[in-house]
Amino acid sequence: MRGSGFVAQIPSWSVAWKGDGFRGDMQLKRWAWIWAVPSLAAGLAAGAPAWAQQPAVIAPPAAAAPVAPPTLSPAQAEVALAVLREANLHGLRPQDYLPADPSDGTALIEGLARYAHDLKVGRLALGDFPANWAVRPQPYDPAPELARALAEDRLKAWLDGLAPRYAGYVALTRGLARYREIAAAGGWKTIPAGSSMAIGSTDPRVPALRARLAAEDPQLTDLTSPTFDPALQEAVVRAQKRFGLKPDGVVGNGTLAFLNQPVGQRILQIIANLERWRWLPATMPATRVQVNSGAAIVTLFRDDKPVLSMKAVSGKPGDETPMLVSAIHSVVINPPWNVPTRIANEELWPKQRRDPGYFARNDYVVLPTEGGGSRVQQKPGPKAALGRFKFDFDNPFTVYLHDTPSKGTFDLYARQASHGCVRLEKAQLLAEALLASDPKWGREGIEAQLATGKTLRVSLSEQVPVYILYWTAFAGADGQMHFRADPYNWDRLLLTKIGLVGQAQAKKDA
């Protein structure tokens, strides 16, 4: 206190953790603050701070006795080493956590803390998330929980509870183990290029095709027949479905490219998707709309069970649909399309200049804006790019879910073709499901409003969470792994950021 003639003594508890705790490099420097928090009562007297009642000159207080860092019992050290040695079960690397000297208790505790952090919220630092990866974990400091687990002798139970509990995550860990077994057995061989193979073919590559399919498909048992028979065709169809390809049973260049991906690439793809699961909260709402932009699929969940699923069209590379979490607050019936300036300038105005009747034929109008500018809007109707329904939720990317008059794109198997918003195959069914709690907006009410051609925004009585995620590896209902082509190259980018893929190779692949 300036001019008081007193020297303020800052109580030791208030600075005890300065420089301590779990840092960005995940090194635990000191642990005293976890166990030792001196009582504050001694620092107060008669309602005034203790220092205010002291003489002007005060000898510095005696140094506090050092507090011993946490230690592991022999049994706890054994548990810790066993868990860290199996970090690869979760797609983590044991060498990132195991101490060089297993008997070094301090290094082992630090390794446990790094492992706990990475398993619960992932290895990517928050500052390394690109802007359009807006699904991010909450900051997590494992030090206090680790300290309590050690003090209460429940280290194994605590460590076992860190990984995500989602069925999708658990299924990926099983897939990871299986594909590592395939790799340990030698993986699979590349099928040479050639003409398409289909039922009836006697191509000399047919046995190689059988061997390749059997590596992932236990239903295919005949590995020797040189003829492309119905059983082999069925195996090809199953593989095409797992890859998100047209299931025509014909092995052309597209199917061959997926089959020839090395098993190591599939393992890395699983690891990247395990990492994304760690960014999610411990649980998701039981009722939600979930979008997988990597596979272009939208699913409505109720009571945590899928009740409506449909194809979608997500953003094309360069206009990627961002990962985000929000809540649908309204359904717009007969929506107009307020064309973003970039799209208007780069796509629509050039068409209008080449063909002066383009705007009129496609129901575009030019509206004035404040300041003497203008913007382009497409009126609602049969030609409207947003179709008949738009689903609004707050987000900084100005993306939304919407209907479309262009249904042909849903027949494609690579459906990343929009400017970033998500087009829905069954938009009216989703609207009916979200508005089902309001008797006014049953199917008849919605149809009546559609018939008017007028725009109406209907607010939901209860907002419905929406999760836009990016999955390129996931398990099907039968437990078989499904893979997609990483259309945004986000698997590669993530693996590069966490040090599993080299920068030079990532740039080459980009």
Q: How many helices (H) and strands (E) does the chain have?
A: 17, 16
The alpha helices in 124-262, defined as continuous H runs, are 143-151, 155-160, 167-184, 206-214, 230-243, 253-259
The active-site residue, picked from 90, 402, 419, 482, is: 402
Please report the pLDDT score of residue 370 as a whole number: 85
Band of pLDDT at residue 372, cut at 50, 70 and 90: confident
Q: Look at residues 178, 172, 181, 206 and name the one whose alpha carbon lies nearest to residue 192.
A: 206
Helix (H) or strand (E) holding 367: strand 364-368
Please report the pLDDT score of residue 30 as a whole number: 37
Q: Are strands 305-315 and 422-424 parallel, antiparallel or unpaired?
A: antiparallel
Cβ-count burial 443-461 (b if 16+ within 10 Å, e if not): eebbeebbeeeeeeebebe
Task: Check residues 177 and 371 and name the one with the higher pLDDT.
Answer: 177
Band of pLDDT at residue 501, cut at 50, 70 and 90: confident
Answer yes or no: 117 catalytic: no
pLDDT digits (tens, 9 = 90+) for 317-348: 999 999 999 999 999 999 998 888 888 888 88
Task: Check residues 56 and 308 and name the one with the higher pLDDT.
Answer: 308
Please report the pLDDT score of residue 469 as a whole number: 98
Band of pLDDT at residue 371, cut at 50, 70 and 90: confident
The two three-digit tokens of residue 81, written as one number: 């080493």
Q: What global pTM score does this model have?
A: 0.82
Please report the pLDDT score of residue 348 as a whole number: 87
Identify the weakest region by mean pLDDT among 44-58, 178-192, 249-263, 477-491: 44-58
Please report the pLDDT score of residue 126 as a whole number: 92
The active-site residue, picked from 90, 419, 421, 482, is: 421
The two three-digit tokens of residue 28, written as one number: 């635990």
Please report the pLDDT score of residue 66 as a whole number: 53
The two three-digit tokens of residue 491, written as one number: 């698997």
Please report the pLDDT score of residue 502 as a whole number: 75
Please report the pLDDT score of residue 151 as a whole number: 95
Please report the pLDDT score of residue 63 as a whole number: 60
Asked whether residue 28 carries a pLDDT value surpassing 80, the answer given is no
Angle between helices 74-85 and 105-121 (to 10 degrees): 40
Please report the pLDDT score of residue 257 as a whole number: 96
- Written in H, E and C, the secondary structure of 100-154 is CCCCCHHHHHHHHHHHHHHHHHCCCCHHHCCCCECCCCCCCCCHHHHHHHHHCCC
Q: Look at residues 137, 381, 154, 94 and name the one whose alpha carbon lies nearest to residue 275.
A: 137
Asked whether residue 17 carries a pLDDT value surpassing 50, the answer given is no
pLDDT digits (tens, 9 = 90+) for 102-114: 999 999 999 999 9
The two three-digit tokens of residue 271, written as one number: 């690891």
pLDDT digits (tens, 9 = 90+) for 176-223: 999 999 999 999 999 999 999 999 999 999 999 999 999 999 999 999
Asked whether residue 498 carries a pLDDT value surpassing 90, the answer given is yes
Please, what's the largest Cα pairwise distance for the chain? 102
Q: What is the DSSP letter of 69?
A: P
Sorted by sequence, the CB contacts under 8 Å of residue 234 that are 6+ apart come out as 219, 249
Asked whether residue 229 carries a pLDDT value surpassing 50, the answer given is yes
pLDDT digits (tens, 9 = 90+) for 141-188: 999 999 999 999 999 999 999 999 999 999 999 999 999 999 999 999
Please report the pLDDT score of residue 366 as a whole number: 87
pLDDT digits (tens, 9 = 90+) for 233-280: 999 999 999 999 999 999 999 999 999 999 999 999 999 999 999 999
Please report the pLDDT score of residue 373 as a whole number: 86
Task: Check residues 470 and 364 and name the one with the higher pLDDT.
Answer: 470
Percent share of the chain, pLDDT over 70: 85
Percent share of the chain, pLDDT over 90: 72
Identify the weakest region by mean pLDDT among 193-197, 378-382, 455-459, 487-491: 378-382
Band of pLDDT at residue 408, cut at 50, 70 and 90: confident
Please report the pLDDT score of residue 71 as a whole number: 82
pLDDT digits (tens, 9 = 90+) for 72-96: 999 999 999 999 999 999 999 999 9
pLDDT digits (tens, 9 = 90+) for 118-140: 999 999 999 999 999 999 999 99
Q: What's the angle, vertex CA 313, arms to CA 312 and CA 315, rounded to 5?
A: 140
Please report the pLDDT score of residue 337 as a whole number: 85
Answer yes or no: 90 catalytic: no
Asked whether residue 42 carries a pLDDT value surpassing 50, the answer given is no
β-bridge mates for residue 103, sequence order = none
Segment 415-428 mean pLDDT: 94
On average, the pLDDT of the chain sits at 86
Q: Where are the domains of the chain?
A: 1-163
